[in-house]
Amino acid sequence: MEKSLWDNWVEEALSKLQSLKLLRSLRPICVSTNEQQLQLLGEEYEVFNEMQKWDRSSVEVSISQTTFHRWLHEIPSSGDEIVYRDGVVNDEAGMSSRQFKKLLLFSGNDYLGLSSHPTIGKAAAKAALEHGMGPRGSALICGYTNYHRLLESCLADLKKKEDCLLCPTGFAANMAVMVALGNIASLLPAGEKPLKDEKVAIFSDAFNHASIIDGIRLAERTKNVEVFVYRHCDMSHLNSLLSSCTMKKKVVVTDSLFSMDGDFAPMIELVKLRKKYGFLLVLDDAHGTFVCGKNGGGVAEAFNCERDVDICVGTLSKAAGCNGGFIACSERWKQFIQSRGRSFIFSTATTIPIAAAAHAAAVIVAKKETWRRTAIWNRVRDFQALTGIPISSPIISVVVGSEEKALQASRHLLKSGFHVTAIRPPTVPSNSCRLRITLSAAHTTDDLKKLTTALSGCINLGVIGSDSSNVYAKL
């Protein structure tokens, strides 16, 4: 494949790092003494071809009466409602009660219902019993093991990239990428400091996740990057910003599926603009990974443009039902980010049981239990059919306006047996508070019928308008 300008810049930056003796390598520790056992990982995973009873525990939750009461009356809670072994609850007056309120969860990010999957739990338990929790240190020191490598390879394959770098969280992954990008400019100036045109120009969607924003802010402090925020998904705005920018090193960074709005980045238009301007495309596929695309490869797979994404950030904390983050990219970029991404370098590696569990999750959903993806998209269609609201993903953002309205709607749903939290500032602007309803493969059509009935008791579904894909509602 022909090398892009960005390939050349990252190569140049790598040689500069080498000359400065700042290039860093992973030195995997082999914690499994039995090589055959490791190779067998993946083949021994038990899989299921339809929903099981235990799947429901990923969406059926209980809260104590005290928590219920505090939530309904907006009484702050520090989480100290003590629950004893036998289910006795001490409320704030010291009274004990055995009552719990069962709720159906519609606010998690466990899109495929994997958080309760026994095979994934067993993978974690087996690794924990054999090796303990692990990691002993950061990945560059001694925390990186053959379990981490196995997971990285599996994720690189899923994302159709040369390689992958595991990070402690998705938040840390975005921070590492942004900070590393800022570093590129500081390593490549002709003079001592980068002139304006030698800096990196980062174009960021206005609704990008906080971890991207914070990463950019950190990179900005080094004075090596210039930031241009474009209106949410507005490609003509992005085009005009790109066309008037004289800096050569351009980067566009966007969420793929927006976490609070449920709409997709305009992938096809982004690919066209990338061809026109040669920018580096960084995609945060936190919500699309495992959920979108035939193989669960994410939003780029769904839009058939995986090759046009240069760096794909993902998380294992959502559809994989575990936690941890990753950066799928070329080998060059991996080497650069692991040498310069401070949130990767200076944080303890993912624990071994989590790496084992995430590997099981990735193998199960990407390759085996494909019915889960079918189920979640069927639930998206159910919601649409029941409400007439055009939604494009399992994230349904019902914007109600003020904070009080969002809290009122959330309380109504709580009383009706649903866990749907109100999303307020600083997550969203103060005039666009909302209910964020998320669907899961573990929900049934019947669950959706009940939810939409309850929803119509607090929101006028008949007058909902649509603006991009989030929906504006009247109470």
Residues of the shown chain interacting with ligand PLP in the complex, contacts defined by CB under 6 A? 169-171, 174, 209, 211, 255, 259, 284, 286-287, 315, 317, 325
Residue that has been written with the tokens 């500032």 in this structure? 425
In terms of CB distance, is 124 or 454 closer to ligand PLP?
124
Decide whether 142 or 229 has the Cβ nearer to ligand PLP.
229
Looking at the Cβ atoms of 241 and 319, the one nearer to ligand PLP is 319
DSSP letter assigned to residue 48: -
CB of 153 closer than 8 Å to CB of 366: no
289 vs 314: CA distance, rounded Å: 7
Using CB atoms, what's the residue nearest to ligand PLP? 170
Q: Around Cβ 75, how many Cβ atoms within 10 Å? A: 11
Phi, psi dihedral angles at 465 (to 5 degrees): -100, 165
**Shortest separation between residue 343's beta carbon and ligand PLP, angstroms:** 10
Question: Taking a C-beta distance cutoff of 8 angstroms, is the pair 218, 194 a contact?
Answer: no
In the complex, the smallest distance separating the C-beta of residue 110 from ligand PLP, rounded to whole angstroms, is: 12
Beta carbons within 8 Å of 301's beta carbon, 6+ residues apart? 160, 292, 293, 294, 295
Residue number, 255 or 447, with CB nearest to ligand PLP? 255
Which residue lies nearer to ligand PLP by CB, 177 or 286?
286
- Of 66 and 204, nearer to ligand PLP (C-beta) is 204
- Provide, rounded to whole angstroms, the least separation between the CB of residue 432 and ligand PLP: 17
Q: What are phi and psi of 90, to 5 degrees?
A: -95, 120
* Closer Cβ to ligand PLP, 199 or 318, answer by number: 318
Q: Which is nearer to ligand PLP, 247 or 286 (CB)?
A: 286
d(CA 332, CA 11): 7
Least distance between ligand PLP and beta carbon 174 (Å): 6
Nearer to ligand PLP (CB atom), residue 265 or residue 454? 265
Shortest distance (Å) from residue 325 CB to ligand PLP: 5
| Cα distance between the two ends of the chain | 55
Contact 88, 82 (CB under 8 A): no
Antiparallel, parallel or unpaired: β 89-90 and 96-97: antiparallel
- Least distance to ligand PLP from the beta carbon of 204, Å? 13
Query: CB of residue 99 vs ligand PLP: minimum separation in angstroms?
Result: 32
Q: Least CB distance from residue 262 to ligand PLP, whole Å? A: 12
CB of 181 to ligand PLP, least distance (A): 16
CA distances to 208, 234, 342, 353, 363 from 116, rounded to whole Å, are: 29, 39, 33, 15, 16
Q: Smaller CB distance to ligand PLP: residue 32 or 208?
A: 208
Beta bridge partners of 451: none
* Shorter beta-carbon distance to ligand PLP: residue 169 or 347: 169
Contact 234, 247 (CB under 8 A): no
Alpha helices in 73-204 (DSSP H): 118-131, 146-158, 170-187
Vertex 109, ends 171 and 126: CA angle to 5°?
80
Three-state SS at 79: coil
Q: Give the closest residue to 183 by CA, choosing from 22, 19, 398, 346.
A: 22
- Residue whose tokens read 């560059």: 140
Smallest distance from ligand PLP to CB 173, Å: 7
Q: Find all residues with CB under 8 Å of 215, minimum gap 6, and list them.
A: 174, 175, 176, 177, 178, 179
What is the helix (H) or strand (E) element at residue 100, kind and residue range?
Answer: strand 100-105
Express the helix, strand and coil content of the chain in percent, nearest 5 each: 45, 20, 40
Residue 172 or 442 with smaller CB distance to ligand PLP: 172
Least gap, CB of 284 to ligand PLP (angstroms): 5
Judge whether 329 and 161 are in contact, CB under 8 Å.
yes
Closest distance of CB 256 from ligand PLP, Å:
8
